[in-house]
């Protein structure tokens, strides 16, 4: 993650408050805005195989790598990790054996997850049904960084509310919207110069989907009302009634609270307008 987003999270820290992890919060995050199952749940002919929820699957295959999302239930290898080790894997991309988790896991943004939220996620993962599935291990034909940044000591909680600051936290650290919707360069998302400008192509059984521009201008979300954006984000329905396609996890986003969706929209409205693809 580049300096501009680190600066953004520094702003978030200015309004930080103390909070406590909870299973309720973890359930909301994993089944809602974090949408962990969107990558970690196996897919069948008709969609996610919920009997194997969070059991892992191949997420992306290319010349650069074969990325496999791990089994993160108590039936996977994370069962032998301590809570602190699982937190480090999620937030820093470092496994207990020191190996680095590669893309498309958005570690750069997950580094901004607050202590209470990442611990709540771990609390949730510890109590889901164990899935007996070994999806294999990722293979990378590209060099991975030794780390995604310095070790993380603590990240304070962000005050919840319909604010740009909390919307930024949800859209970046929690839901990683900006990972998919930022134009990609040779080193990944160009957060410094193309934040939210869109252009990344997703290939799947649905065909090819191109991440749209979600900055504030006319080539982005400026052409939509807040009500239309709610329909797009939470229900996958365009203003003309046409259904949108994966991989955006509309089912998870449908579980988001009205206030959280409103905060995300408020944040997106604050993004400088950029042309499509920057």
Task: Tell me the pLDDT tens digit for each residue of 78-97.
Answer: 999 999 999 999 999 999 99
Q: Would you say residue 17 has pLDDT above 80?
A: no
Q: Would you say residue 20 has pLDDT above 50?
A: yes
Strand 65-69 to 57-61 pairing: antiparallel
What band does 18 get if pLDDT is binned at 50, 70 and 90? Answer: low
Q: Would you say residue 218 has pLDDT above 90?
A: yes
Give the whole-angstrom CA distance, residue 54 versus residue 75.
Answer: 10
Q: Would you say residue 185 has pLDDT above 60?
A: yes
Q: Would you say residue 51 has pLDDT above 50?
A: yes
The reported pTM is 0.92
Give the whole-angstrom CA distance, residue 80 versus residue 86.
Answer: 10
The pLDDT of residue 187 is: 79
Q: Does 164-270 match 18-140 at the fold level?
A: yes
What band does 163 get if pLDDT is binned at 50, 70 and 90? Answer: very high
Evaluate whether 216 touches 240 at the Cβ level (below 8 Å): no
Tell me the average pLDDT of the chain.
92
Q: Does the 164-270 domain belong in CATH 1.10.3470?
A: no
Evaluate whether 33 touches 19 at the Cβ level (below 8 Å): no
Q: Could you state, in order of their start, the residue ranges of all structural domains in the chain?
A: 18-140, 164-270
1.10.3470, 1.20.1740, 1.10.3120, 1.10.760: CATH of 18-140: 1.10.760
Evaluate whether 175 touches 264 at the Cβ level (below 8 Å): yes
Q: Would you say residue 226 has pLDDT above 90?
A: yes
* Residues of the chain above pLDDT 90, percent: 86
């Amino acid at each position: 993650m580049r300096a501009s987003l680190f600066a953004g999270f520094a702003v978030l820290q200015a309004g930080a408050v103390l909070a406590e992890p909870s299973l309720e919060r973890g359930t909301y995050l994993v089944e809602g805005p974090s949408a962990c199952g969107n990558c970690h749940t196996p897919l069948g002919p008709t969609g996610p195989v919920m009997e194997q929820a969070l059991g892992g699957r191949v997420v992306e295959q290319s010349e650069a790598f074969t990325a496999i999302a791990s089994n993160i239930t108590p039936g996977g290898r994370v069962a032998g990790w301590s809570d602190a080790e699982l937190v480090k894997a999620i937030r820093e991309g470092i496994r207990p054996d020191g190996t680095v988790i590669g893309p498309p896991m958005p570690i750069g943004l997950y580094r901004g997850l607050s202590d209470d939220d990442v611990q709540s996620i771990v609390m949730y993962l510890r109590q889901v049904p164990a899935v007996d599935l070994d999806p294999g291990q990722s293979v990378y034909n590209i060099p991975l960084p030794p780390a995604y940044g310095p070790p993380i000591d603590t990240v304070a909680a962000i005050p919840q509310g319909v604010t740009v600051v909390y919307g930024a936290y949800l859209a970046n650290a929690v839901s990683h919207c900006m990972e998919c919707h930022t134009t990609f360069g040779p080193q990944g998302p160009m957060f410094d110069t193309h934040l939210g400008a869109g252009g990344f192509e997703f290939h799947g059984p649905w065909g090819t989907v191109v991440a749209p521009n979600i900055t504030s201008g006319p080539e982005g979300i400026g052409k939509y009302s807040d009500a239309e954006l709610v329909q797009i984000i939470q229900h996958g329905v365009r203003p003309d009634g046409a259904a949108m396609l994966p991989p955006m996890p509309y089912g998870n986003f449908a579980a988001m609270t009205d206030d959280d969706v409103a905060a995300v929209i408020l944040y997106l409205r604050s993004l400088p307008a950029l042309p499509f693809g920057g």
